Structure 1
């Protein structure tokens, strides 16, 4: 199955890895605050320097998220005889929240004023087939997990050259990533695959193999693979631990799922109040994109069934739990949620 190499990059999820997750979250939130085009987000004009900066970050945002997902997979890969448990765990962690959050988000966008929804009521159930808005990433990542874990289960990726061959193949398939989001984001999975494999290579076989992926990506046409893999691998090597970003990174999955509720709410509230100062709207929208998802997480994680539906985790026990054998109260310390 997965081999371990002493030349690893990220070892402590509470520092380096979570710092990078926190950075990826901030970049993603900023993207949605600014908006994809002049008709979304703050509806900034095409010549806005904020939009130009946002467009540059496109080469880093989702590639970094995906490389980190590959690193985490390499830390906890499918193991011998545990394929069923691994698959069930990923379905609970990713598929169930994908279903519930996709539907809630689509309905909320339809009902809320001043949103960018273009869905009809009859189209809303179809978001589970053709993922809507940012939920394409969850669906595409599930497909990537399915492919890579199956190959790992069959021992096809035990050697670095075998995985490097998969990375090369992923670079070839990368050109079919374009177009509208396909059924369950199959084409977006092709976009994610090379970055995911680069993350696994960097963690499982050492930074030199991550660098090899970056060098091969540099031979591909265009800048997306070159910059995405290059910056992602470089950040794995050189990024220092930053406490604040690390604290955000612990909640990276919930921030990804729910940040749009915060960014949209902030924009709608301030615009309703007549506030139009762009720097203020950018800052408040980014803060809301962080605070609202964390608040949702802390609220829902203690609710049975709801925590599984929207966070993909079992509900967290309350501060005092009754010990079943003696009937005595047992204090439960604060345990940061495990984010995959």
Structure 2
């Protein structure tokens, strides 16, 4: 049993290999894992937590804290899904039944455990808690734990298209996004979360050698310059486009245009993210921190958003109400941001420990399902 590089959940996969600068497989020595990929996942989940902390604090989006969020916005989720695709190749070569046992089961269990909690919190925020809304969130992928839902959809789609030529498969993966824009459905996040990132997963799946070569040449100044130019150039185009179509608010068609052009970031921004991840993996102290986080993204992902809501809306409010003079300092923007980071760290560690407990840890890492033996 090993752990999926895309999610941190256990899957029965073959050993993961990638061509390094010497032409030999490069892995994290202790766990038989690709080190820069773990660092890339660590960078992505840190950026996700950072985004939820800063955007959840009044004034945070208009402060200097938001610069890192702006930089990572075109990288964090596309890179997460691309890395997931890089290591899905062994699973999707098999049947749908085998896919269920080897991957979908391990994604479905934490999704069903944590989605009702996150969905209830989100629905409570808009004051529209009903059984119907809760059921809809679970069935169609709530915006809270949507990553696991999207991965299940992507793996199934990849398995169904496994005999389609790689370039055609990537092209087909982009068609749902075009259809959603044409139908004017971009306001439904549970749909756009899937359509926007499916091409990233398919690119990682079918063109993994390209990204392994990119990682192997991450110290080449020409590669670095090209990646930076692509990132900066397309973000400049996006800024111009947003300013042009959004002087007084977007129409549905304009929002759809932004969604489609934003998908190009998979090719223009993610290479820069991979290069940063490779450099992190080659920096001793940072490597250990980012790779350690990247190997355990699932406990952080499923817990931090709900924990931030619980702290900000319940614990902090009650502390201030109980003794304003003592706790008022926690209500400042900087104090709330630092506290939010601490909440993410503590909650991630708690759920990491829960995942290592017998039986109860199955909510994160369920045991493999028993399979029927073939009858001779």
* TM-score between both structures, scaled by the size of structure 2: 0.65
Give matches, 1:271-310, under 5 Å.
272=320, 273-274=327-328, 275-304=330-359, 306-308=360-362, 310=363
Indicate if the aligned counterparts of 1:262 and 1:285 stay in contact, CA closer than 8 A. no
Paired residue for 2:168, among 160, 165, 169?
165
- Equivalent-residue separation in structure 2 for 1:14 and 1:209 (angstroms): 14
Match of 2:92 in 1: 78
Match of 2:119 in 1: 106
Q: State the Cα distance separating 1:143 from its structure 2 match.
A: 0.9
- Equivalent-residue separation in structure 2 for 1:150 and 1:136 (angstroms): 21
Matched, 1:128 2:138: yes
Gaps of 5+ in 2: 1-13, 216-222, 239-256, 282-286, 321-326, 369-376
Cα RMSD for the two superposed structures? 3.6
- Equivalent-residue separation in structure 2 for 1:171 and 1:208 (angstroms): 24
Q: State the Cα distance separating 1:227 from its structure 2 match.
A: 2.7
Q: State the Cα distance separating 1:303 from its structure 2 match.
A: 3.5
1:34/1:6 CA distance change after superposition, 3 Å: closer
Secondary structure (helix, strand or coil) at the match of 1:314 reads: coil
Gaps of 5+ in 1: 36-40, 157-161, 316-340
1:23/1:141 CA distance change after superposition, 3 Å: same
Indicate if the aligned counterparts of 1:255 and 1:289 stay in contact, CA closer than 8 A. yes
Match of 1:15 in 2: 35
Secondary structure (helix, strand or coil) at the match of 1:33 reads: helix
Matched, 1:31 2:47: no
Secondary structure (helix, strand or coil) at the match of 1:313 reads: coil
| Aligned positions, number | 288
Match of 2:366 in 1: 313
Secondary structure (helix, strand or coil) at the match of 1:18 reads: helix
Match of 1:97 in 2: 110
- Equivalent-residue separation in structure 1 for 2:34 and 2:311 (angstroms): 29
- Equivalent-residue separation in structure 2 for 1:87 and 1:190 (angstroms): 22
Matched, 1:232 2:239: no
Match of 2:127 in 1: 118
- Equivalent-residue separation in structure 2 for 1:166 and 1:10 (angstroms): 28
Paired residue for 1:65, among 80, 91, 98?
80
Paired residue for 1:257, among 302, 312, 316?
302
- Equivalent-residue separation in structure 2 for 1:260 and 1:49 (angstroms): 22
Which of the pair is proportionally richer in helix? 2
Paired residue for 1:203, among 181, 202, 208?
208
Indicate if the aligned counterparts of 1:307 and 1:314 stay in contact, CA closer than 8 A. no
- Equivalent-residue separation in structure 1 for 2:311 and 2:207 (angstroms): 38
- Equivalent-residue separation in structure 2 for 1:235 and 1:277 (angstroms): 32
